[in-house]
Amino acid sequence: MKSKSTFALILTAAGSSVRMGLGLKKEFLPMQDGTVLSTAIKSFLKTNGLTHIIITYPDGQLEDMKKALFSSSETEQLLSQCGIPLLFEKGGATRQESVFNALNALAAGCAQKPELVLIHDAARPWVTETVIQNVLECAGEYGAAVPSTPATDTLAFTDESKEIITGYADRPHTFCLQTPQGFRFNELLEAHRKAAADKNTSCTDDTTIWAAYCGPVHLCEGNARNKKITFKEDIQTEAAMQIRTGLGYDLHKLVEGRKLMLGGVAIPFEKGEDGHSDGDVLLHAITDALLGAAGIADIGELFPPSDNTWKDADSGKLLQAAWQKVLADGWKLENLDCVVALEKPKFLPYRTQVRESIAALLGCDTDKVFVKAKTSEGLGEIGRGEAAAVWATCLISRPFRNNQE
């Protein structure tokens, strides 16, 4: 059952992010699409019943806040489609003060007050529509709701030194609280007014205000992925790297009077690959895998057989020229894995030398390159020793660039 309640969203982003150690507000950090802030708001914009949005910001950072919000074209489009009023409210000295400012601005700014208000940390970009629905339903029924997950680590209390354990939390009854926290709008506003009148500034979040002035807060189901970004490591692994795979294939005829070249190594044999260049079937497949992963070109486009420059060319030079183009786009090799289909000769005695040769051409560690050979059990042109074929796959990575793709 989907909630039919109307709700306002308060996105809190007025903190200073001192724990990040980055010199940049965590809400402004780049993610796959835009920033942490532009990502955090998306699931709310897709939820029915939203009537108002208010974002709290630190003094002096309104322009940066708007830039971060509109850094994603999807967010910009969702905002213009839904046509919901968007307000920015300067934060106070504490979270409690910032939320109180936002509630007052909402009360003053809307003719028809929403039934519920959801308060969400803008530094939780991975909130899902399901979690939002859980909160709306639970707050609609009980007045106050917070998404939570059961504690998985053992939680301990310490003495003043913070070095000696004095007790443990009872784990079956211990939960980690997330946001959005949801409340009946009018009652939460009233609770904040009372707390302000009482000069009660000890409330770390809105559930403690609700508990002090209104009554019990109900738990609903959160999501372990709905993490708050606190340290830069929280975002590095999730959003900072872009990865791509590539696949290359090549086949060459084996004829007498040519060298058998595999991975830049000449392997003693009575036949070798026919071809315009030196015919190194393994290096050709690798070149195509890398170029394909980076989305640049294929080997035939870069080094056309019709161009006499490449006649009898060293395929190692072709690979290096292609790899330079991939490197120039910021990519780094994670690994390369290849299968050589070859009836004769036995490949295993040359494997180490071939892996080292490829790694040297690419300027990477040998353990990132693997090559294995298979026979075709005497079947087909490969089985009859008339051809050699290679399949190569690779994984490449680079840091995400903002506003790219």
Chain residues binding Mg ion by CB under 5 A are 250, 284
What is the C-alpha separation between 144 and 327, in angstroms, rounded? 53
Nearer to Mg ion, 192 or 284 (CB): 284
| Beta carbon of residue 123, minimum distance to Mg ion (angstroms, whole number) | 51
Closest CA to 241 of 157, 315, 350, 330: 330
Nearer to Mg ion, 243 or 321 (CB): 321
Tell me the backbone φ, ψ of residue 399, rounded to 5 degrees. Answer: -65, 145
| Beta carbon of residue 250, minimum distance to Mg ion (angstroms, whole number) | 4
Compute the 3-state secondary structure of the chain and give helix, strand, coil in percent, each to the nearest 5: 35, 25, 35
Nearer to Mg ion, 203 or 342 (CB): 342
With tokens 């109307």, the residue in question is 6
Nearer to Mg ion, 294 or 392 (CB): 392
Nearer to Mg ion, 25 or 284 (CB): 284
Give residue number: closest CB to Mg ion: 284
CA angle 94, 98, 99 (to 5 degrees): 120
| Beta carbon of residue 339, minimum distance to Mg ion (angstroms, whole number) | 16
| Beta carbon of residue 350, minimum distance to Mg ion (angstroms, whole number) | 19
Nearer to Mg ion, 284 or 398 (CB): 284
Q: Which amino acid is at 280?
A: D
* Residues 299/305/311/316 CA torsion (nearest 10 deg): 10
What is the C-alpha separation between 314 and 308, in angstroms, rounded? 13
| Beta carbon of residue 327, minimum distance to Mg ion (angstroms, whole number) | 22
| Beta carbon of residue 275, minimum distance to Mg ion (angstroms, whole number) | 6
Q: For 379, how many CA atoms within 13 A lie in the half-sphere containing its CB? A: 3
DSSP-derived 3-state class of residue 8: strand
